[in-house]
């Protein structure tokens, strides 16, 4: 196989994906059980072999087998023969990630990095509440308060909700912050915490370079995000992937046209991204998808039905693999028709009819060719993967995690001083009672109000007064926090998805 393309399968000729068009995005669709995940695996293997790192969500865990040696089972060997592929078993360099830190290295982001727009989406806030979150970010930025984890956010909300003086100050500068809106946000925050959001926010935050590694043999690392449990919180799943996309967009340098992508990103169950997404968000996604190309990143959406993806985004997905669709109901038939019309037609094929007749691991394929035009659609038998089809065992996963190049880097949480600690100390300073009243209930009550709920771990400490050296340390830390805070603030305003200027 030529090394400027990766092999997808065979129609009347070999069907390939040109690496130089790998950043022109793609779409894998088809009804359940038709071969989408295996196709994703074939593409991921091809990109890895070409030295391109991959990031993919592993919804059912069945993509994890790409880390294990393939077996020459009869149906695999037969398929290889049918598509004229010299088949040899292989396994690929995989790094497992997990927002919950159970089936892979934890992935974390800070509240600041997530930004007000995505955070509001994550908590399902209305416009008024989102306005409050914007104000909260601005205020934190101005005061040099770092927003790292959920307890920072909680402490800031409590401050906004209870400090009348602050409310008046903010009203004059930015607009109204009603205790009612703050209360509503606090309740939504609780829901987010119950979904496991607390683990996702904090440090050490993910460094994007760690997703863009190649192994000693020059193969691209395949990063797999455990998403089975995550799918229980679709909003968290979709927002996380969106955040990752926007981070890549913000952080990576412009590279223009490339021989091969810098990273390929597979977005499985993509309909979750667009389901009741507000128009403003869809426009942002459309913008990121359009512009991220020049950063050398290819985005591949995987979903059952092409109608799941908004037209403006669909139009930008150059490489298409359409597996079988059913046509039982009128709605199904409409989807088939729509799917058929997205291809450059082939006079030899009745596309609409073929879509319903495709077998497992068979698809209509069209990729970009020449100077970037879609190839004529072809009925294609998809190549078999060379690694295992199906999941790794728990034990295999454990071993891979243990030998991972990321081992130790993200596994432990680091909790440095941020808004929560600063606000807590400030209140301690202001209200410090006489030393003999240490451990007074009044302090607990005060902390309770700062933390907005009394479940404050810090309330237990009952320390009232800082020693001189503590004050010095606090002031030093405060000024560091301020400078870092301002930087993050700039990052927020710069970002496409992170920014929300009024």
Integer Cα distance of 16 and 232 in angstroms: 36
Q: With CB under 6 A, what is the number of residues at the site for ligand ATP?
A: 14
Integer Cα distance of 483 and 295 in angstroms: 29
Beta carbon nearer to ligand ATP, 360 or 463: 360
Burial class of residue 287 (count of CB atoms within 10 Å of its CB; 0-12, 13-18, 19+): middle
236 binds, among Mg ion, ligand ATP, none (CB under 5 to 8 A by kind): none
Does 37 help bind Mg ion (rule: CB under 5 A)? yes
Integer Cα distance of 96 and 400 in angstroms: 8
Beta carbon nearer to ligand ATP, 308 or 421: 308
Does 103 help bind Mg ion (rule: CB under 5 A)? no
Integer Cα distance of 83 and 475 in angstroms: 68
Residues 53-82 that bind ligand ATP (CB under 6 A): 79
Integer Cα distance of 68 and 388 in angstroms: 6
Beta carbon nearer to ligand ATP, 231 or 480: 231
Beta carbon nearer to Mg ion, 62 or 149: 62
Beta carbon nearer to ligand ATP, 129 or 303: 303
Beta carbon nearer to ligand ATP, 29 or 246: 29
Does 428 help bind Mg ion (rule: CB under 5 A)? no
182 binds, among ligand ATP, Mg ion, none (CB under 5 to 8 A by kind): none
Cβ-closest position to ligand ATP:
361
> Which tokens is 384 given?
């078999």
Short-list 9, 10, 30, CA closest to 324: 30
Beta carbon nearer to Mg ion, 37 or 49: 37
Q: What is the 3-state secondary structure (H, E, C) of 115-139?
A: HHHHHHHHCCCCHHHHHHHHHHHHH
> Which tokens is 340 given?
């058929």
Q: With CB under 5 A, what is the number of residues at the site for Mg ion?
A: 1
What DSSP string runs through 70-113?
Answer: ----HHHHHHHHHTT---------EEEEETTSSSSEE--B-HHH
Beta carbon nearer to ligand ATP, 34 or 223: 34
Q: Which of 160, 389, 446, 458 binds ligand ATP (CB under 6 A)?
A: 389
Does 35 help bind ligand ATP (rule: CB under 6 A)? yes
Minimum distance from CB of 33 to ligand ATP (Å)? 4
* Cis peptide leading into residue 181 (ω within 30°): no
Q: To 10 degrees, the CA torsion angle through 356, 390, 56, 403?
A: -170
Residue 380 pairs in a beta bridge with 363
Does 32 help bind ligand ATP (rule: CB under 6 A)? yes
Q: Which of 17, 18, 38, 423 binds ligand ATP (CB under 6 A)?
A: 38
200: helix, strand or coil: helix
Which residues, including other chains, have CB under 8 Å from residue 417's CB and lie 6 or more apart?
Answer: 146, 477, 481
Over the window 141 to 180, marking each residue x when it contacts Mg ion by CB under 5 A and - when it does not, the resulting string is ----------------------------------------
Minimum distance from CB of 300 to ligand ATP (Å)? 14
Residue 379 pairs in a beta bridge with 364
Q: Which of 5, 11, 29, 34 binds ligand ATP (CB under 6 A)?
A: 34
Minimum distance from CB of 32 to ligand ATP (Å)? 4
Burial track 183-192 (b if 16+ CB lie within 10 A, e otherwise)? ebbbebbbeb
Residues 359-388 that bind ligand ATP (CB under 6 A): 360-361, 382, 384
Minimum distance from CB of 281 to ligand ATP (Å)? 26
- Give the interface with ligand ATP as residue ranges (CB under 6 A): 30, 32-38, 79, 360-361, 382, 384, 389
Site residues, Mg ion (CB under 5 A): 37
């Amino acid at each position: 196989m030529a090394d400027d393309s990766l092999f997808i399968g065979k129609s009347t000729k070999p069907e390939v994906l040109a690496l130089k068009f790998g950043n022109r995005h793609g779409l894998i669709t088809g009804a359940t059980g038709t071969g989408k995940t295996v196709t994703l695996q074939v593409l991921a293997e091809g990109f890895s072999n070409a030295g391109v790192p991959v990031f993919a969500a592993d919804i059912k865990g069945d993509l994890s087998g790409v880390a294990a040696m393939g077996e020459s089972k009869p149906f695999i060997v037969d398929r290889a023969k049918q598509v004229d592929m010299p088949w040899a078993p292989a396994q690929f360099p995989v790094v497992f990630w997990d927002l919950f830190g159970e089936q892979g290295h934890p992935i974390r982001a800070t509240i600041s990095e997530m930004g007000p727009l995505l955070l509001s989406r994550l908590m399902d806030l209305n416009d008024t509440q989102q306005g409050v979150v914007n104000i909260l970010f601005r205020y934190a930025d101005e005061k040099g308060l770092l927003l790292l984890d959920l307890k920072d956010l909680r402490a800031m909300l409590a401050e906004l909700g209870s400090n009348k003086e602050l409310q008046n100050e903010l009203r004059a500068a930015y607009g109204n912050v009603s205790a009612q809106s703050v209360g509503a946000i606090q309740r939504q925050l609780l829901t987010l915490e119950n979904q496991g959001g607390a683990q996702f926010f904090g440090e050490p935050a993910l460094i994007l370079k760690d997703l863009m590694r190649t192994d000693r043999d020059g193969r691209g690392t395949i990063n797999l995000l455990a998403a089975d449990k995550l799918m229980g919180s679709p909003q968290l799943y979709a927002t996380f992937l969106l955040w990752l996309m926007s981070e890549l967009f913000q952080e990576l340098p412009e590279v223009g046209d490339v021989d091969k992508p810098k990273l390929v990103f597979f977005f499985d169950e993509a309909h979750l991204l667009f389901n009741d997404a507000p128009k403003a968000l869809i426009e942002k996604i459309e913008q990121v998808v359009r512009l991220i190309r020049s950063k050398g990143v290819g985005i591949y959406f995987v979903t059952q039905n092409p109608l799941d993806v908004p037209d403006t985004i669909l139009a930008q997905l150059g490489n298409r693999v359409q597996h079988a669709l059913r046509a039982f109901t009128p709605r199904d038939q409409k989807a088939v028709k729509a799917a058929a019309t997205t291809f450059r037609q082939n006079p030899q094929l009745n596309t609409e009819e073929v879509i319903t007749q495709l077998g497992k691991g068979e698809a209509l394929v069209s990729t970009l060719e020449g100077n970037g035009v879609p190839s004529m659609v072809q009925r294609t038998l998809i190549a078999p993967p060379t690694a295992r089809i199906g999941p790794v065992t728990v034990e295999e996963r454990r071993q891979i995690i243990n030998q991972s190049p990321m081992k130790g880097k993200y596994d432990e949480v680091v909790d440095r001083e941020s808004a929560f600690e600063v606000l807590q100390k400030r209140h301690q300073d202001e209200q410090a009672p006489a030393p003999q009243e240490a451990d007074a209930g009044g302090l607990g009550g005060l902390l309770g109000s700062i933390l907005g709920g009394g479940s404050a771990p810090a309330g237990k400490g009952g320390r009232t007064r800082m020693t001189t050296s503590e004050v010095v340390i606090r002031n030093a830390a405060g000024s560091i926090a301020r400078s870092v805070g301002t930087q993050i603030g700039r990052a927020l305003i710069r970002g496409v998805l992170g920014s929300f200027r009024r």
